[in-house]
């Protein structure tokens, strides 16, 4: 059986909606404040599990109630937690302010992510058992992954695993300086438009794909939000339109997309089919408040796709 070793951060999320304006020294009454799961690693692992894939999470959480809450939710979905490590630091926490358009502003305290992946990579036999894929969810989410991310990917490739990397936003603005050394070990790269510009200096997807390919990356999936996605494979770029839905909260949509794409790949779907299915999972995710609250099972997602309308305009 195929499986994914999903490596990344695990975050306790506090979601606040709707916040359309911030004014200091005042009180803002909001529609809802919710505590839920976040983090690129845990979101992607959760999406994989909900969609029926075998997945093991490699992440760090604190020995606190927030960490317990995250682990309970992941376990309930079927995520293998044997590779999760405990830290004396608090579980990483984010406060997400969401406006009525579904846009978000994040406040993040890294907590246990500061300790995560501090040493050299160690992919043990127990950690790799049953795994055929290695997915690194956001190189920039944990400081030590900037230093050791390329080595984690190299070790996974040497161990015979197919590798993928979801870029993430680089708050330090170093972009290719830190991600570049990892690209020769990446079979499949996920990147959104803002990240594409930061990495390559161009918004032209074909030109950006060539830049990334020249650095060693084999295939690229561009996440384009309401425009769906585009896949660069075998020297060709092709677009897959999004489903036409109204976004309530875009938090975690990219993680759900990546998890769904990998889940579809594990089932043997083509790149076009995987991209279309991933668009559907992301469309379901953005209709609910919370990174993963809108996800449905594989069968439910396929059924939804039969009647869902494809967007014909940006």
Q: What pLDDT shows up at residue 160?
A: 96
CATH number of the structural domain spanning residue 260: 3.40.1190.20
- Rounded to an integer, what distance in angstroms lies between the CA atom of residue 217 and that of residue 236? 14
CA-nearest of 179, 186, 225, 172 to 200 is 179
pLDDT tens digits for range 15-40: 898 999 989 999 999 999 999 999 99
- Rounded to an integer, what distance in angstroms lies between the CA atom of residue 142 and that of residue 58? 13
39 assigned to some structural domain? yes
Pairing mode of beta strands 11-17, 32-38: antiparallel
Tell me the torsion sign for CA atoms 232, 225, 191, 3: negative
* Position 1 confidence tier, pLDDT thresholds 50, 70, 90: low
128 assigned to some structural domain? yes
Higher-scoring residue by pLDDT: 122, 14:
14
Q: What pLDDT shows up at residue 249?
A: 82
- Rounded to an integer, what distance in angstroms lies between the CA atom of residue 168 and that of residue 162? 20
312 assigned to some structural domain? no
Q: What pLDDT shows up at residue 312?
A: 82
DSSP state of 87: E
What is the average pLDDT value for the chain, to the nearest integer? 94
pLDDT tens digits for range 61-70: 999 999 999 9
Q: How many other C-beta atoms lie within 10 A of the C-beta of residue 69?
A: 16
Q: How many other C-beta atoms lie within 10 A of the C-beta of residue 253?
A: 24
pLDDT tens digits for range 256-292: 999 999 999 999 999 999 999 999 999 999 999 888 9
- Rounded to an integer, what distance in angstroms lies between the CA atom of residue 59 and that of residue 117? 8
CA-nearest of 126, 76, 89, 98 to 28 is 98
Question: Within its chain, how far is the Cα of 223 from the centroid?
Answer: 11
Q: How many domains does the chain have?
A: 1
- Rounded to an integer, what distance in angstroms lies between the CA atom of residue 97 and that of residue 241? 28
Domain containing 131 equals 3-307
Q: Could you tell me which residues come within 8 angstroms of residue 235 by beta carbon, excluding any fewer than 6 positions away?
A: none
Confirm if 305 and 277 have CB atoms less than 8 A apart.
Answer: yes
DSSP state of 215: T
Q: What pLDDT shows up at residue 251?
A: 83
Q: What pLDDT shows up at residue 188?
A: 98
- Rounded to an integer, what distance in angstroms lies between the CA atom of residue 252 and that of residue 38? 7
Report the SS3 class of residue 74. Answer: helix
314 assigned to some structural domain? no
Q: What pLDDT shows up at residue 102?
A: 78
- Rounded to an integer, what distance in angstroms lies between the CA atom of residue 280 and that of residue 240? 11
Confirm if 151 and 120 have CB atoms less than 8 A apart.
Answer: yes
């Amino acid at each position: 059986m195929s499986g994914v070793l999903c490596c990344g951060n695990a975050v306790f999320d506090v979601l606040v909606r709707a916040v359309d304006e911030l004014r200091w020294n005042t009180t803002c009454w909001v529609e809802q404040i919710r505590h839920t799961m976040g983090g690129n690693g845990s979101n992607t692992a959760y999406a994989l599990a909900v969609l029926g894939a075998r997945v093991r999470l490699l992440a760090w959480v604190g020995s606190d109630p927030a960490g317990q809450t995250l682990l309970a939710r992941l376990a309930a979905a079927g995520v293998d937690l044997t590779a999760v490590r405990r830290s004396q630091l608090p579980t990483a926490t984010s406060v997400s302010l969401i406006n009525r358009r579904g846009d978000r502003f994040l406040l993040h305290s890294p907590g246990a992510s500061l300790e995560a992946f501090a040493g050299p990579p160690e992919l043990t036999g127990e950690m790799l058992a049953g795994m055929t894929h290695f997915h690194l969810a956001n190189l920039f989410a944990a400081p030590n992954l900037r230093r050791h991310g390329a080595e984690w990917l190299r070790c996974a490739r040497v161990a015979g695993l197919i590798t993928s990397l979801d870029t993430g936003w680089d708050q330090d603005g170093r972009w290719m300086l830190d991600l570049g050394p990892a690209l020769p070990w990446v079979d499949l790269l996920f990147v959104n438009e803002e990240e594409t510009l930061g990495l390559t200096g161009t918004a032209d997807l074909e030109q950006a794909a060539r830049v990334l390919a020249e650095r060693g990356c084999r295939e690229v999936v561009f996440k384009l939000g309401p425009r769906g996605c585009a896949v660069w494979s075998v020297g060709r770029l092709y677009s897959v339109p999004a489903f036409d839905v109204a976004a309530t909260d875009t938090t975690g949509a990219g993680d759900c997309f990546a998890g769904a794409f990998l889940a579809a790949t594990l089932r043997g779907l083509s790149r076009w089919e995987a991209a279309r299915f991933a668009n559907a999972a992301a469309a379901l995710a953005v209709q609910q408040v919370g990174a993963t609250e809108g996800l449905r099972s594989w069968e439910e997602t396929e059924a939804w796709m039969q009647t869902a309308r494809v967007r014909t305009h940006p």
